[in-house]
Amino acid sequence: MLPKLVVEKVWKKPGQGVVKINFNTTANGRKMSFGLVARDHDGFVLGGRAGVMDKNVKAEWAELHALEESISFAWTKNWLKLKFESDCVSLVNRLNRTKANFSTMGHR
């Protein structure tokens, strides 16, 4: 039996002057909703955005749309140093251009 590794999951501070944007989506039938929150290096909330769209898309495409909204939100605020955070493993792996995809769950 292999021992289970204990990993602490905590919010990591970005570097000085970096804005961290966390985005998330949900897709159900013909509706898609998204939300994003921008924080500075101390965890102070700088702003956010949320919306609902009439689009029939899969979860991965909805996450990609939320990333696009996050980029346009940062562009309107003139933020130069950004860090994006998402819970969509397949999107993160594709953007990081990793060779192996360690996602174990599919999308319904």
pLDDT > 90: what percent of the chain?
25
Rounded to whole angstroms, how far apart are CA atoms 83 and 85?
Answer: 7
Computed over every residue of the chain, the mean pLDDT equals 82
Q: What is the pLDDT of residue 28?
A: 83
Q: Rounded to whole angstroms, how far apart are CA atoms 65 and 80?
A: 20
Structural domains of the chain, ranges and CATH numbers in brackets: 19-88 (3.30.420.10)
d(CA 40, CA 79): 11
Q: Mean pLDDT across the stretch 18-37?
A: 89
The predicted-structure confidence for 63-82, as pLDDT tens digits, reads as follows: 888 888 999 999 999 998 99
